[in-house]
Chains A and B, each alone.
Chain A
Amino acid sequence: DAEITQSPRHKITETGRQVTLACHQTWNHNNMFWYRQDLGHGLRLIHYSYGVHDTNKGEVSDGYSVSRSNTEDLPLTLESAASSQTSVYFCASSESIRGTYEQYFGPGTRLTVT
């Protein structure tokens, strides 16, 4: 069965370190998204991609970057981790068929920055 996976599921890192969170989907979806989930804010969009070599900034992109070298993967990099980036991170993907718009979510990565 097709799925979307994230790794690691839990990560503790120190302030200032570079961290990369992996996202891999086997749906063959064109679109991929990264969100962060914080109490009182719901899910907020960090970055998104509509296809290979395409990346776009979302609502809360400062301090994060992504790259899309193939259809399946969209890794999220925290260039220099800050305590404010302690959060739960979700990756999602969707197909580019007008009228569908459903996003499929991964299980999440809980990141703690100390």
Chain B
Amino acid sequence: AQSVTQLGSHVSVSEGALVLLRCNYSSSVPPYLFWYVQYPNQGLQLLLKYTTGATLVKGINGFEAEFKKSETSFHLTKPSAHMSDAAEYFCAVSDQNEKLTFGTGTRLTIIP
């Protein structure tokens, strides 16, 4: 069975500061990993994904994540936070049957 742990249900950073959202996974098969973002009263939108190949993955809005197999991690980063980054972020892992298992989410607040 696969699982995802997101450390920190709430994270606050100042505008212009580094954003780091943590995600650790457990999977019995090579994982496919995702970060989704949810803005208030909206559905989820894909930020980035890792399936195979390069372990540093770049996504939309300046976000990136690095797959570290030895640490079973897929942390999300952005060098400089913007007010528009305020949202809830979900890490997810997929088995090879296309199903997603989500973490419990991290709400990101940006301090002006």
Nearest opposing residue in chain A for B91, CB measure? A42
Q: Are A105 and B51 in contact (CB under 8 A)?
A: no
Nearest opposing residue in chain A for B96, CB measure? A98
Interface flags, A23-59, vs B, CB<8A=1, else 0: 0000000010101000011111100101000000010
Check if B98 is an interface residue, CB within 8 A of chain A.
yes
Report how far A92 CA is from B99 CA in the complex, Å: 11
Report how far A33 CA is from B43 CA in the complex, Å: 13
Scan residues 29-53 of chain B and give those whose CB is less than 8 A from a CB of chain A.
32, 34, 36, 41-46, 49, 51-52
- Closest chain A CB from B105 CB (angstroms): 5
Residues of chain B lying within 8 A (CB to CB) of residue A108: 41-43
Q: Are B98 and A96 in contact (CB under 8 A)?
A: yes
Q: Are A99 and B52 in contact (CB under 8 A)?
A: yes
Nearest opposing residue in chain B for A44, CB measure? B102
Q: How many residues of A contact B (CB 8 A)?
A: 25
Asked, given contacts A45-B99, A108-B43, whether A101 binds B32 with beta carbons under 8 Å apart, the answer is yes
Nearest opposing residue in chain B for A97, CB measure? B98
Report how far A42 CA is from B102 CA in the complex, Å: 6
Residues of chain A lying within 8 A (CB to CB) of residue B94: 101
Residues of chain A lying within 8 A (CB to CB) of residue B101: 45
- Closest chain A CB from B76 CB (angstroms): 15
Q: Are A45 and B44 in contact (CB under 8 A)?
A: no
Residues of chain B lying within 8 A (CB to CB) of residue A44: 102
Check if B110 is an interface residue, CB within 8 A of chain A.
no
Residues of chain A lying within 8 A (CB to CB) of residue B43: 90, 105-108
Scan residues 74-112 of chain B and give those whose CB is less than 8 A from a CB of chain A.
90, 94, 98-105
Report how far A58 CA is from B45 CA in the complex, Å: 22
**Closest A-B pairs by Cβ, 6 of them:** A105-B43, A42-B102, A42-B104, A105-B44, A43-B102, A107-B43
22 pairs, A vs B, C-beta closer than 8 Å: A31-B98, A33-B99, A33-B100, A40-B104, A42-B102, A42-B105, A45-B100, A50-B98, A58-B99, A90-B44, A96-B98, A100-B51, A101-B32, A101-B34, A101-B49, A101-B51, A102-B49, A103-B46, A103-B100, A105-B36, A108-B41, A108-B42
